[in-house]
Amino acid sequence: MARSREKAQEFLKALGMSTDSIGVEQLLAEFRAEMDAGLSGAPSSLAMIPTFIPIDRPVPAGTPVIVLDAGGTHLRAATVVFDEAGRAQADDFARFRMPGADEELSAEAFFDCFVQILLPLAHKADRVGFCFSYPAEITPDGDGRLLTWTKEIRAPEVEGAYIGRNIGDRLKARGIDLQFTLLNDTAAVLLAGKSIARIQDFGSYVGFILGTGTNTAYVEDNRRITKRNDLAPQGRQAINVESGNFSRSPRTAVDERLDEGTNNPGEYTFEKMISGAYLGRLSLRLIKAAADEGLFSGRGSPHLRQVRRLSTVQADRFLRDPAGAGPLGNPALTGADRETAGFLISGVIARAALFAAVNIAAAVLKSGAGRSPVRPVCVNIDGSTYYKTRGLQPQAERHLRDILGGRGVHFKLVRVPDSPLIGAAVAGLTRP
């Protein structure tokens, strides 16, 4: 056991993947510098997209709103209404595959899928809050233009198109008039965190997602968003950081090789180091690289070399039950082989936890709030990778306490169920 751990640790260290070799303070400083650059319009890997969502509008009770939640590979629709106490009641739930997740679609076919989903709901409300989990430039009227697809969605003609307008116009042609408010899923998660503010007073709000993809939203003063000159200087709004594209985190040779095989090489390299779409693949590449360095037995190596795919969920299962079935489960592996593979996967997760913590800390610090223990920064975290991958959440939270606690900054981590739906409903109902 001790020997397997030592070998794995030496290997991770030599590769540059060990958390000991990561300069946390420098990384945090670079994250914050990229955020500043993105706000001013200077070259930056962080798009820092204004959402035009002020977070302090009251949410009307008793008014229904249609919500759409287009996530990684799924699409959900529902109607939501808030009661007088601010509690959300959801109804009319329906679940679909995300158009473009299984096959390449034309723009016409893509938008038509949404028309078909909305037709049976259209008589229930006249507004749609649309949680859209892909990078989109938001316009002041609440629509959004897709910048680029992430999460391997294939509908190339939709890139550059306005999402709400395209669906809305097609519905209008059928005599249906709906007002669309498009928002990023992290902005929705931030708003869902805000929706629990009646329980506690918070200094500011952050929304963080670590699921198939990753991203962050926080609240910024308009006067600091200097790349735009059309914002009321006294106002504030949620910013979609698009943190998955952060380009300054140190990459290893294994990260580079994984990136080369994706749909968008060179882009979203941070997402490729921490999110659910990639942690399993990265672990497998790491295990194969370790096999090349002789870290596994003569019987185990050939088996490991021929494993084709490992998902994040399968990697997590292996950690919980190393002798169980799954792509890595083969009798040829010795006990020591399994331990070494487990330590390597844990190394990938440990680095993801540290990077996630740096990312969250940068947003909390950028908010400028949390100086008083009675008004901490509310950080609402969503995403199965964060909560379900073994060791990720506790390690991320330990790093966060070190980074922010050491600076006297107070924060509170919360988890609001159904955040994307609740946030989309709030955004749809509060648009003037």
| 97 φ, ψ (degrees, to nearest 5) | -80, 145
CB-wise, 45 or 150, nearer to ligand BGC?
150
CB-wise, 274 or 358, nearer to ligand BGC?
274
Least CB distance to ligand BGC at residue 400 (A): 19
Structure tokens of 220? 């910024």
CB-wise, 185 or 337, nearer to ligand BGC?
185
Least CB distance to ligand BGC at residue 108 (A): 24
Phi-psi region of 400 (alpha: psi -120 to 50; beta: other; left: phi over 0): alpha
Least CB distance to ligand BGC at residue 244 (A): 5
Specify the DSSP class assigned to residue 404: I
Binding site for ligand BGC (CB under 6 A): 133-135, 150-151, 184-186, 209, 211, 213-215, 242, 244, 271
Cα angle, residue 360 at apex, residues 356 and 366 outer, rounded to 5°: 145
Least CB distance to ligand BGC at residue 268 (A): 6
Sign of CA dihedral 122, 124, 128, 132: negative
- C-alpha span between 160 and 106 (Å, rounded): 13
- C-alpha span between 406 and 403 (Å, rounded): 6
Least CB distance to ligand BGC at residue 182 (A): 11
CB-wise, 214 or 311, nearer to ligand BGC?
214
CB-wise, 22 or 47, nearer to ligand BGC?
47
Phi-psi region of 22 (alpha: psi -120 to 50; beta: other; left: phi over 0): beta
The single-letter code of the amino acid at 115 is: V
CB-wise, 271 or 316, nearer to ligand BGC?
271
Residue nearest to ligand BGC (CB): 213
Q: Which H or E run includes 136?
A: strand 136-138
Least CB distance to ligand BGC at residue 385 (A): 10
- For 172, 193, 263, 340, 410, the CA distances from 199, given in Å and listed in that order, are 41, 11, 43, 46, 17
CB atoms within 10 A of CB 85: 7
Q: Helices (H) and strands (E) in the chain — how many of each?
A: 14, 13
CB-wise, 74 or 224, nearer to ligand BGC?
74
Sign of CA dihedral 259, 265, 266, 272: negative
Residues paired with residue 146 on neighbouring β-strands, in sequence order = 136
CB-wise, 133 or 389, nearer to ligand BGC?
133
